[in-house]
A and B are shown apart, each in its own frame.
Chain A
């Protein structure tokens, strides 16, 4: 047990993703490890943060060329697995929580059935047992009236509730790695915190790893042990706190956020040309 805890759940070296043959690189030389901790990946749209998450789950379309010198999940190479092995892995060992629960839940099945299906697939439970597991899981994600919600359809519940249901469904098999891709950006401000806290609690309880992908560097900072900042498909910086930011991009990102408690007349604006020059020198 001690041994396994020390080794990372996920270890990535030189991950590259290209779309199409003549190849715009979506991700270039991305390397990081995830242990039993919370790691945040921060970046703006087009930075490759979501593509990274999908590459780990092997959910990218076939035309995407994914290469890596190593992409190991619990010591096993992900890229060598067959599609069938991946299917078993997804949901059971690693889970993906997406932005909008309305699009990730099946609209014509009651919620209870969907979670029970997940329990049946990944825990091998049958009929009544699966339904009971689903009910327990709904109670675990602090849904007040699980019996009623079990019978409801996705369109009958709110966004925050939907995201709880998603979390219940994804975490019922106690996956070792949870990837949450902007799990709160479709939700109202006041429920965001609850959903994040819930996610955190369950991940800690299962002793698994969490990758939180978001554009909101402050939210990630207050939540994760480590922050990976991505820009144009590359990791520009890895840090443990906002105050430790060194790279000009990270600093510019933080400065560009309005802060009610420290008002400024004009917000700091990113000098993209300067950033690109730095990028070229690094490359």
Chain B
């Protein structure tokens, strides 16, 4: 479903050159959920943004559904992968009503305005239809994140890229959002790439976890490894210990 070969991202030139992602390769099967854990600055978010097409300065090769995509995406390519952001307060336009926020992807893609579709999308993420007329500041963090998920799914992409989708939320809200994501994944057989610093969240959601440090993957853990608390690399072990205090 997703294949990445030798992805490399660097910012700046000369002395100030900062190599963020170093020659990374990975592949994700259809319906699989891949987790990427690492600490701040390890390059996990940059990797995800390169996959999404937000970061344009990468080299290497990326395939979605067997089709190679470049740094600049066409509409058809954009429809393959959508993203959910970390901060539910920053990912919705403060002056757009929820209904507008959900209709925008359709309008931007040139589909006819379909209010039924918007209301259906709201219902699918467990929000009442009258939320369509509200502004983001009238919603809680968890509700906003639900809207962000609905917006990402409204174009029916086969791939969803999740950048710390619950780290700004309370534990009980996090549980609700993670459940929602899992339900949508099973219902639509979506492929997820989930980036997080929280090993527990990644372990809960993912079939396979890559541990990232300084721009490269240092360890790969299966669901079984996570359950038994096995790690192959010393850094991954360190993360493990710190996560389960």
Contact = CB atoms under 8 A, between A and B. Distances in A.
B245 A222 contact: yes
A45 B169 CA distance: 9
Nearest to A186: B40
Contacts of A22: none
A269 B203 contact: no
Interface in B152-184: 170-176, 178-179, 182
**Which bucket holds chain B's interface residue count?**
20 to 34
B244 A269 contact: no
A222 B40 CA distance: 24
Given A190-B39, A218-B245, A263-B223, A269 B172 contact: yes
Given A190-B39, A193-B245, A260-B200, A45 B239 contact: no
Nearest to B199: A260
A266 B238 CA distance: 27
Contacts of B201: 258
Contact of B239 (A159, A190, A258): A190
B221 to A, nearest CB: 10
B133 interface: no
B229 interface: yes
A253 B172 contact: yes
Interface string A200-229: 000000000000000111110011000000
B146 to A, nearest CB: 13
A269 B199 CA distance: 20
Identify whether the interface residues of A are mostly helix, strand, loop, or mixed.
loop
A109 interface: no
Nearest to A218: B245
Contacts of B40: 159, 188
A113 interface: no
A257 B179 contact: no
Contacts of A120: none
Greatest chain B CB density within 10 A among A159, A222, A260 is at A260
15 contacts: A190-B239, A196-B245, A252-B172, A256-B171, A258-B175, A258-B178, A258-B201, A260-B203, A261-B227, A261-B244, A263-B204, A263-B227, A266-B182, A267-B204, A268-B175
Given A260-B200, A260-B204, 11 more contacts: A44-B172, A45-B170, A189-B197, A189-B199, A192-B245, A215-B171, A216-B171, A253-B172, A256-B174, A265-B182, A267-B179
Nearest 3 CB-CB pairs, A to B? A260-B203, A258-B204, A256-B175
